[in-house]
Amino acid sequence: QKEVEQNSGPLSVPEGAIASLNCTYSDRGSQSFFWYRQYSGKSPELIMFIYSNGDKEDGRFTAQLNKASQYVSLLIRDSQPSDSATYLCAVIGQAGTALIFGKGTTLSVSS
Amino acid sequence: GAVVSQHPSRVICKSGTSVKIECRSLDFQATTMFWYRQFPKQSLMLMATSNEGSKATYEQGVEKDKFLINHASLTLSTLTVTSAHPEDSSFYICSARDAPTGGYNEQFFGPGTRLTVL
C-alpha cells in the first residue's frame, strides 16, 4: 500500500525562524512531489512542487527531494504567524495520476 | 490561474436523503477530476478518480453505489451521496486536472463542501 508519512506535530517556531517540515513516501517509483498548505475549514493550496533530486526555491520556501532516501522536505524561512497552518505532503506514484496525501504537519508560528 | 468551484459550500440534510455536490472547472477543461473526503483532524483521502465520459474508478473501501460520480462534461463532475447517514458527514473536496504537459501534474482544488447529516 502506497503511503506518505508526516510527523503530525504540532511544530512550534518563533516568528522569523526557519520551519522544517519532513515527509517520507513508500512508493520508490513516485515521480511528482507536492507541498500544500491548508487552513482550517479550507481546501489545500499548492505551495510548491518538485520533480528532481535537490533543492527548489521559491521565495521563502525551499523544497528538497532525495529520491534515494524517499524523502521530501519543506523549509520555510522567516516564518510568519500567517504561515500557521497544516502542511500536507502529497505524492503522485509511478503508475498513478491521483495525489496521495500524508496526514499533514500542523505548524504554529508565534509572534 | 485555474479556478475550480464547488456547490454547495455547505449542506445539512436529514439521514436517509441524497445530496448532490457539483464540481466545475471554470477556465479550463478538466480531463480528470478527483473526489476527496476529509474527516476532522485527518488528511484528504481519495475517494475516486473520474475521466470525462468514463466510469469513475473508486478507491478500495469506497462504495460506488453509495457515492455516485458523474463526469458528463469536461467542466463538470458531480458526486451524489445516496441515503446519507451521520457517518458520511465530512468535508468533500474535488480537484481537477487538465491534460498534463511536460510531466506537470498540478491539480486545482475546489473550495470544498461541508456535509452534515443529522
Position B1 confidence tier, pLDDT thresholds 50, 70, 90 = low
CB A94 within 8 A of CB A84: no
Q: How far is CA B96 from the centre of its chain?
A: 9
| Chain B contact present for A56, CB below 8 A | no
Name the burial class of residue B7, with classes exposed (0-12), middle (13-18) and buried (19+) by CB atoms within 10 angstroms of its CB: middle
The secondary structure of residue B9, as a DSSP letter, is S
For chain A, give the mean pLDDT.
Answer: 93
On the question of pLDDT at B92 being above 80, the answer is yes
Position B103 confidence tier, pLDDT thresholds 50, 70, 90 = low
- Tell me how close the Cα of A98 comes to any Cα of chain B, in angstroms: 7
Name the burial class of residue A91, with classes exposed (0-12), middle (13-18) and buried (19+) by CB atoms within 10 angstroms of its CB: buried
Q: Is B102 left (phi over 0), alpha (psi -120 to 50) or beta?
A: left
Contacts of residue A46 in chain B, CB cutoff 8 Å? 106
CB B47 within 8 A of CB A95: no
CB B107 within 8 A of CB B2: no
Contacts of residue B42 in chain A, CB cutoff 8 Å? 103
- Tell me how close the Cα of B44 comes to any Cα of chain A, in angstroms: 6
By Cβ distance, the residue of B43, B103, B110 closest to A43 is: B110
Alpha-carbon distance B116 to B71, whole Å? 24
Task: Please answer yes or no on whether B105 and A97 come within 8 Å at the CB atom.
Answer: yes
Residue in chain A lying closest to B93 (CA): A43
Average pLDDT over residues B30-52: 91
